[in-house]
Amino acid sequence: MLFRFKRENTKLRVAYVISRFFEPFLWLAIVGLATIFSGYFDDYNRLSWGIILLVFLGVLPLLTLWLGLKKGKVKDIDFSKREERTSFIMVIIFYWFLGALLTWALAGPRLVSTILISAIIVGVAVLIINLYWKVSVHTLGITVSALFINQLFGWQYLWLFIFIPLVAWSRWAQKNTRQRSC
C-alpha cells in the first residue's frame, strides 16, 4: 500500500509539471512569437507587432489571473471551481477583442487579426461549454497551438501533436476536467 501511494504521488507530480509546461497562455504567447518570424510580417515592424501579440495573448491574461489569485477571486491557477472561469474567460475575450480592434485601427498584419479573431471564437465556444462542463483549456491550448503553427509553417512541426494526449492525460490525472453541471 505504501508503494502504491508513492507511485501515485510521483504520477501526480509528473502530471503537474506537464500541466505547468503546457500553460495555455504560455503557448498562445509562443504562437504569437512564432508568427512574427513568418513571411506574413515582411512588410511590418516585427518587434511592435510581436509586443502587441504578446501583450494581448499572454501578458494581460496572465496578469488578470495573477490579480484574481491575489484578491482571492480565483482559488487556484487551475480554476478548480468551474464557476470561477466564467468571468475570467469573458475578460480574456474582451482583451482579445481590444487587440483585434487595435490591429484593425492601425492597419496591422492580417495574420494578427486572424489570430485574435480565432482566439475570440474559441474563447466564446469555451465560455459556452464552461456553463455545463469544465473542459481542459490546457489540452485545447496545445491543440490549437499545434494546428496553427503547422498551418503557418507548412506542416513541418507535426511532432507537436504528440503532446496533445500527454497534456490530456496530465489534466485527467490531476482530476482537473471532471466537473459537470446539469
Neighbours of 36 (CB within 10 A): 22
Per-domain residue ranges of the chain: 25-173
HSE, side-chain direction, 13 A CA sphere, residue 4:
1
pTM greater than the 0.75 cutoff: yes
Angle 13-145-90 from CA coordinates, rounded to 5°: 85
Using one digit for the tens of pLDDT, what is the confidence trace for 120-167?
999 999 999 989 888 888 999 999 999 999 998 889 999 999 999 999
**SS3 of residue 171 by DSSP:** helix
C-alpha cell at position 115? 489570430
Tens digits of residue pLDDT in 39-48: 888 889 998 9
**Residue of 129, 121, 49 lying closest to 92 (CA atoms):** 121
pLDDT at 78: 79
Res 4: pLDDT: 42
- Angle, in degrees to the nearest 10, between helices 2-21 and 163-173: 130
Higher pLDDT, 12 or 180: 12
Q: Is pLDDT above 50 for 24?
A: yes
Q: Which residue has the higher pLDDT, 73 or 25?
A: 73
CB-CB contact of 116 with 56 (8 Å): yes
Higher pLDDT, 30 or 113: 113
Helix, strand, coil percent values for the chain (each to nearest 5): 75, 0, 25
The per-residue pLDDT for 27 is 87
